[in-house]
Amino acid sequence: MEIVPAPLARLISGFEKLPGIGRKTATRLSLHILRRPAGEAQQLARDLAELHSSINMCDNCFAFSEQNPCRICSDSRRDAGLICVVEGPGDLLVIEKTGAFNGLYHILHGVLSPMDGIGPDEIKIDALIRRIKQGGVREVLIGTSSTVPGEATASYLSEKLQGLVTVSRLACGIPMGMDIKYADEHTLARSIESRKITVQK
């Protein structure tokens, strides 16, 4: 006998499809919504229903936005000669929070992963190259993760962009506040490779 009412079971099933959400978390979220006032659940349903109709993809950088081009691409105060290439929209949000980057972005919407059938044609690499060839870009900062697919994507991009533009890579290494003796060998090696000169001879 099924003890979970069908509408609740469907909601749990829907939450389970989200990344990082297992059965227990999906159940907890569903029960939380059920315990809240009906108006909150209805507002959430309206927000979800409007999501795809009100948000599009920017033609320039492929960020999700209500306007096209997006607010970042439309901002004349940004440095249009510097483009940061990231894997997904979440990476753009994290970099923007730092306030340290004033250029534009290009979102790949994935990384190269042949094992998963993701090659150059499945992500926005060709669009990046076309964008650079239009002129005005002096540097591309590759901001992919330091995972195996992220590094493979960075290497591929560096090769494809050679001779077109200056290519830089986000520095990787020891986090702020970390004691060096606790760093693993790989992290420490990347720190050494990514070192920067603070005093010139």
For residues 38-57, give the mean pLDDT. Answer: 91
Q: What is the mean pLDDT of residues 189-198?
A: 69
pLDDT average, residue stretch 118-122: 87
Q: What pLDDT does 196 receive?
A: 64
Q: Is residue 7 part of a domain?
A: no
Q: How far apart are the first and last CA of the chain?
A: 79
- The verdict on 183 and 155 lying in the same domain is no
| Residue 69 reports pLDDT greater than 80 | yes
Tell me whether residue 62 is exposed, middle or buried, using C-beta atoms within 10 angstroms of its C-beta: 0 to 12, 13 to 18, 19 or more: buried
**Domain that includes residue 145, residue range:** 77-170
CA distance 129 to 72: 20
Please indicate, yes or no, if residue 190 is contained in any of the structural domains: yes
Distance (Å, whole) CA 172 – CA 144: 11
> Looking at the domain assignment, is residue 114 inside a domain?
yes
How many independent structural domains does the chain possess?
Answer: 2
The CATH number of residue 166's host domain is 3.40.1360.10
Banded model confidence at residue 1, pLDDT cuts 50, 70, 90: very low
- pLDDT band, very low/low/confident/very high, at 171 (cuts 50, 70, 90): confident
- The overall longest dimension of the chain from CA atoms, in Å, is 79
Total-model pTM: 0.80
